Structures are given as C-alpha cells and as structure tokens.
Amino acid sequence: MEEKKLYETVKLIQELVKNACVNPPGDEMKSIKTIEKFLTSKGISCQVFESAPNRGNLIAKIEGTGEGESMMFGPSHIDVVPIEDLDAWEIPPFSGEIKDGHIWGRCTFDMLFITAAQC
C-alpha cells in the first residue's frame, strides 16, 4: 500500500512540474485543477476559487471522526519563479524527469513536493 502512495505522489509532483506555473504571470489554475482532480479521485471534496484569470486557490476538507484535534495543512504555493538561464539546466526544468533517484524540475525540492505530500 505504501508503495502505491509513493508512486501516486511521485506522479503528482511530476505533473505539477510539467504544468510550468511560472510567476509572472502565475497561471496556477493548471496545477490547481491537477490537485483538484487528484483529491476528488480519492473522494475528497474541494473548492476552487479563481481570484483572477488562471489564478486562484483550492481548499480541500477531509472530515475526521470528530474525536481528537483538528489539523490544517498548507498553505502552500504552486507557482515558480522564472528561469533566468535555461541553458544552465542539465535536465529541462519542466520535464519532471526521474534521474539518479530524484525528480528533476523547477521547484521539486521547494514547494511542489510539500504540496504533493500533503495531498
């Protein structure tokens, strides 16, 4: 079971990297829709709020048992800063390629892995 979760998380990170939500202009809606699709496939209800064209936020709620404390994950961001020197990248920054046991791409070791792990 844990291997399946790891596989799904890796695939989600790769898809988020490939969405290339570079800010400016942001264009995060691609990744918001990716996350919404992932969560709803697990039976988790989501709300998407579009604050500007192709920009927005997603809120998901997982109901607990009613016992114990409440938790909140996030917030997290899914946009990345622009690439200054594309030639400096050995592996294309929006490929999500797996090499040497790592997922390569813009923001994989920053926020995208945290976002995917919280899903």
Q: What DSSP line would sit under 65-94, residue for residue?
A: -S-S-----------BPPPS-GGG-SS-TT
Which one has a higher pLDDT value, 22 or 26? Answer: 22
Torsion-angle region of residue 107: left (phi > 0), alpha (psi -120 to 50) or beta? left
Kindly state the percentage of the chain with pLDDT values over 90. Answer: 74
**Residue 44 to residue 55: CA distance in whole angstroms:** 22
Most confident of 23-27, 29-33, 76-80: 29-33
Mean pLDDT of the chain: 91
Residue 119's pLDDT is what? 85
Could you report the per-residue pLDDT of 27-36, keeping only the tens digit for each? 999 999 999 9
Domains and CATH numbers, the chain: 2-84+91-118 (3.40.630.10)
Residue 23's pLDDT is what? 93
Q: Is 29 helix (H, G, I), strand (E, B) or coil?
A: helix
Tokens representing residue 119 in the block: 């899903």
